[in-house]
Amino acid sequence: MSTSKKHREFVGEPMGDKPVTDLAGIDQFLRQITEGRLNFAYTVLGQFLILEKNNELFVSWIKDTASANQKQANDCYSCLKEWCDSFL
């Protein structure tokens, strides 16, 4: 599977206070939809962990919450999954 530059940059370092738009699959359009609710990547990570890293549940949640399409939701899931595999 080929990953984007954005994905590689995100998973290559600790999360810190990265904005939500640093996550693969989350662009400025989706950021505007979630204004005030999902400011930081760690907020999305928290939900990812609450959903026990379950692909189907997370993809459904991000689609419902941020109006992400299937590709965006899958990209975001893959990004968080790889980050967790590296740092948790």
Residues 31-50: b if buried by 16+ CB within 10 A, e if exposed: beebeeebebbeebbeebee
**pLDDT score at 27:** 85
Q: How many domains does the chain have?
A: 1
Q: What is the pLDDT of residue 78?
A: 97
CA dist list (Å): 16 to 9, 10, 74, 75: 13, 11, 22, 20
Residues 43/20, Cβ–Cβ less than 8 Å: yes
| CATH code, domain carrying 45 | 1.10.150.40
> Could you list the mean pLDDT of each consecutive 10-residue stretch along the chain, which spans 88 residues?
86 94 87 76 96 98 92 96 97
Q: Is the dihedral of CA 33, 36, 70, 11 positive or negative?
A: positive
**pLDDT score recorded for residue 66:** 87
pTM of the full structure: 0.90
Confidence (pLDDT) at 1: 55
Question: What residue type is assigned to position 3 of the chain?
Answer: T
What pLDDT was estimated at residue 39?
86
Range of the domain at 25: 5-87
